[in-house]
A and B are shown apart, each in its own frame.
Chain A
Amino acid sequence: MVELLNPILWHSIVAAATFFVLPTLGEIYAERSGILNLGIEGMVIAGAAGSYAIAYQTQDILLGVLFGMFIGGLLATIHAILTITFNRNQVVSGIGLTILGTGLSGLLGDAVIGKALKGIDSTPIPILNDIPTIGEVFFDQNIFVYLSFILAPILWFILYKTRIGILIRSVGENPSASMNQGVNVRLIRYLCVIFGGMMAGLGGAYLSLGWLNFWTDGMTQGRGWIVIALVVVALWNPLGAFIGSYLFGMFDVLQFSFQHEAIPFIFPTGIPPSVLKMMPPVSTILFLAIWGIILSQQKVKSIVGAPSALAKPFED
Chain B
Amino acid sequence: METVLEMQNVCKTFYGDGVEIHANDNVNFSLKQGEIHALLGENGAGKSTLVNNLFRRPDSGTILLRGKEVELSNPIAALRHGLAIARQDLSKSLIERHTVAENILSISEGFFLSLSRIEREITSALNKYELGDIDPKTKIWKLSGGEKQRVEILKALITDPEIIILDEPTSMLTPPEIVNLFRLLNSLRSQGKSIIIITHHLEEAINYCDRITVMRHGEVVATLETEKEKNAWASEEEGIRHLATLMVGKEVLYELARKKMEPGKLTAEIQGLFATNDMGDTVVNGVSLQLKENQILGIAGISGNGQQELVEAMLHWRKVDSGKVLIHGKKIDDVSIVQDITGKSIREIRDLGIAYIPEDRRKALILDLSIRENLILNSYRKSGGLFIDQKSIVNVTEELISIFKIKTPSALSSVRSLSGGNRQKVVVARETTLAPPEGRKLILIAENPTFGLDVGTTQFVREELLRLREEGAAIMLISSDLTEVLALSDRIAVMYKGKIMGILNSQEATREKVGLMMGGSTLQEAIE
Contact = CB atoms under 8 A, between A and B. Distances in A.
Interface of A: 161-167, 169-170, 173-174, 176-183, 297-299, 302-303, 308, 316
A156 to B, nearest CB: 14
B112 A180 contact: no
B338 interface: no
Given A173-B98, A180-B87, A163 B112 contact: yes
B96 A308 contact: yes
Contacts of B278: 298
Q: DSSP class of B's interface residues: helix, strand, loop or mixed?
A: loop
Nearest to B105: A181
Contact of A167 (B79, B92, B97, B105): B105
B75 A176 contact: no
Given A170-B105, A302-B141, 18 more contacts: A161-B112, A161-B113, A162-B112, A162-B113, A163-B109, A163-B113, A170-B98, A173-B95, A177-B92, A179-B75, A180-B75, A180-B93, A182-B74, A182-B76, A182-B79, A298-B278, A299-B279, A302-B96
B97 A298 contact: no
B111 A164 contact: yes
17 contacts: A162-B113, A163-B112, A163-B113, A164-B111, A170-B98, A173-B95, A177-B94, A180-B75, A180-B85, A180-B93, A181-B75, A181-B106, A182-B76, A182-B106, A183-B105, A299-B280, A303-B97
Nearest to A302: B141
Contacts of A164: 111
B55 interface: yes
A298 B277 CA distance: 9
Contacts of B191: none
Say which size band chain B's interface belongs to. 20 to 34
A302 B97 contact: yes
Nearest to B94: A177
A177 B75 contact: no
A166 B92 CA distance: 17
A305 to B, nearest CB: 8
A169 B113 CA distance: 13
Interface in B132-174: 139, 141
A273 B361 CA distance: 56
Contact of A177 (B76, B85, B93, B141): B93
Interface string B25-58: 0000000000000000000000000000001100
A71 B112 CA distance: 31
Given A163-B108, A163-B110, A167-B105, A180 B96 contact: no
Contacts of A299: 279-280
A169 B95 CA distance: 10
B293 interface: no
A163 B111 contact: yes
Nearest to B142: A302
B447 interface: no
B219 interface: no
Contacts of A183: 105
Contacts of A166: 98, 102, 105, 113
A173 to B, nearest CB: 5
A316 B55 CA distance: 12
Counting from the closest, the 7 A-B pairs by CB-CB distance are: A182-B76, A176-B92, A182-B75, A298-B278, A174-B95, A173-B95, A163-B113
A119 B105 CA distance: 47
A64 B207 CA distance: 73
Contacts of B79: 182
